[in-house]
Amino acid sequence: MTDHDFDEDTLRALADEGNETALDRLADLYDARDDGEALSALLDEGSEQAGRLLTRRAVANRDLRELQRLSDAGSSEAGVELKRLLTQRE
């Protein structure tokens, strides 16, 4: 995360009011906690940061199905990575 640890409830309240930066910080917090379910929920809310973090995890695991799911959910980065992995020659 950053040099500051913010209260999750405060970040959630700010994100609910439309603060994109707070939504990004929530994604960082959930990533640090290794909470993939919470990240997926944030992606459903439109968090691009959550999409990037989930994509990074899926690429590390070479999880093509997860990359397809993320791409379908609106993560353009996941679509790029999926295509890259599918066309990559060993």
Per-residue pLDDT of 30-72, as tens digits, reads 999 999 999 999 999 989 999 999 999 999 999 999 999 999 9
More confident residue, 61 or 6: 61
28 lies in some domain: yes
User: Residue 2: inside a domain, yes or no?
Assistant: no
Number of domains in the chain: 1
Could you give the CA distance from residue 33 to residue 4 in angstroms, rounded to a whole number?
A: 16
Asked if residue 1 belongs to a domain, the reply is no
Model pLDDT, residue 88: 87
Asked whether residue 66 is assigned to any structural domain, the reply reads yes
Q: Is 60 part of a structural domain of the chain?
A: yes
What's the rounded Cα separation, in Å, for the pair 88 and 29?
32
pTM for this entry = 0.87
The pLDDT > 70 percentage for the chain reads 94
C-alpha separations of 5 from 25, 33, 49 in Å: 9, 13, 18
